[in-house]
Chain A
Amino acid sequence: MLHEFWVPKLTRKMTNVPGQPNHIWLQADKPGTYIGQCSEFCGTQHAWMRILVVADEPSKFEEWQRAQLQPGQAATSDATAKGLALVSNIHLHQLSCYPRSSWSGLAGRAGSHACSQPQTTWLPVFWRIRRRTCALWLKSPQHIKPGALMPDFNFTDEQLDQLSEYLSTLR
C-alpha cells in the first residue's frame, strides 16, 4: 500500500513505499502547527489520512522532550489501573486511528503521553464528548471504518468502561 507524505508549507511530497526507508527534510521557518495530507490514493479512508507537524522553538521543544521522557501518569483507581493495563497491551495506533484525527502521529508514543500535545488532546476530549462512538470504534472498527485492517480486540463492555475510565484521566 502506497501513501504519500505531504505538508505543503514545509516540504515537497514523498511517497511512502513499504519496505523502503525514505528521508525528507522538513523546514519550518516559524513555530506553528502545519497541516498535511496523504496525497497518494490509498483506499476508502484516504481522505482522513491527515498529518500534523508541530514546530516549536528549541527551548519549548526541549521542555516537551523532557516531559516525554518522564514516567507516565500513574493509575489513580482500580478501574483506571485496569484501563491502563488494557492500553498497554494493545498498540496505541488502534486508538489513534479514530477517523476524525489520524492527525496524531504523536499518539503512537507511550500511552500515558498520548495527549501531551495540544493537538493530540482529541482522544480524551472525543472520548468524553463522543464516548459511544469511541467505544464503538474500539469494539468494532469495521462498523465505523469499513475496509479498515485494524484488528478487532473484542473488548467487553466492562473493558470498555475501564478504558474509558483511564482515558478520561489523561490531559
Chain B
Amino acid sequence: MTEIASLLEKHGYAVLALIVFLEAVGVPVPAALALVAAGAASAWNHLRPEMVLIIALSAMLLGDTLLFILGRYTGWALLGFLCRIALNPESCILRSAESFYRRGRTTLMFAKFIPGINTLAPPLAGSMRMGLGQFLRLDFIGACLYTLAFTGFGYLFSGFLVAAAKGVETIGRAVEWLLLIVVMGYVAYRVYLYWKHRKYRVVPRVQVAELAGRLASGEAVGMIVADVRSHGYYDPGAMRIKGSIRLEPNNLRATVKDWPRDQQIYLYCT
C-alpha cells in the first residue's frame, strides 16, 4: 500500500493506468489498492480526482475491450487458455460458459469485484457473441462501480489510511502466507494427480509419422483413429485428423461395447 502510494506520488497517472490495465488483461497486480491509494492522493491534492477516474476507467475499458476482441476472434481457445490453470480445464470452460449465459449481463457489471471472474468475463462475452455496444455499456457500468468504490473509499478515508497502512501491511503478510499455503496445496494436488495417473504413462505411444505411414500403406483396415478432445469441438471450423471419429470420453464404454476387440485404436487429444 505505502509502496503503491509512493509510486503514485512520483509517477501519478501513468502508474495508475499501467496497474489498472495490467489487472484488466489478467496480470495479478493489486489494482484495487492502487485505486484506493489514488483516491487518497486525490484527497491530499497530489492527484486530480476527475483525472484519476478518467484514466482508471479508460485503462480498464481498454484492457477489457482487448480481451473481448480476443475472445471474439479466438472463439473458445482464449477461454481454454485461461482455464488451463484449473484442475479440470474442460469443466472450467463448460461451467463458465453456462453460468455466464444464465447471468452474463449481471455478471459483467459485478465481475470486477470477483478475482478470476474479472479476467474471464470479457473474453467470455466476446466468445459468446455479445454485441460490442452492449458489452461496452455493461462493462462501463461495472468499471464505474469498481473505480468509484475503491477511489471513493481512498478519498473518504484518506486520513485513516495512513494510520491503517501499518495494519494493512500486517494483514498483507498474513495474506501472503495464506496465498503461499494455497499455492503449496495446489502443487501438492498436482503431484498427487501425477502419482495417481502414473499408470497412464505406460500406455504405448505411436509417433505421428509412423501412424501416417500405416494409414497410407493400406494397413488402415482394422484401425480406428479416435479424437477424444472435447474443447476442440466448440468452434465451427474446428479441424481433426482426416478419417478420425469422435470418441466421447464420458460415454466411452457405452460407445465401444460392440466394437470388435481385435481393432487397433489410436487416440489423440489436443
Q: Are A and B bound to each other? A: no
Q: Interface residues, chain A, CB within 8 Å of chain B? A: none
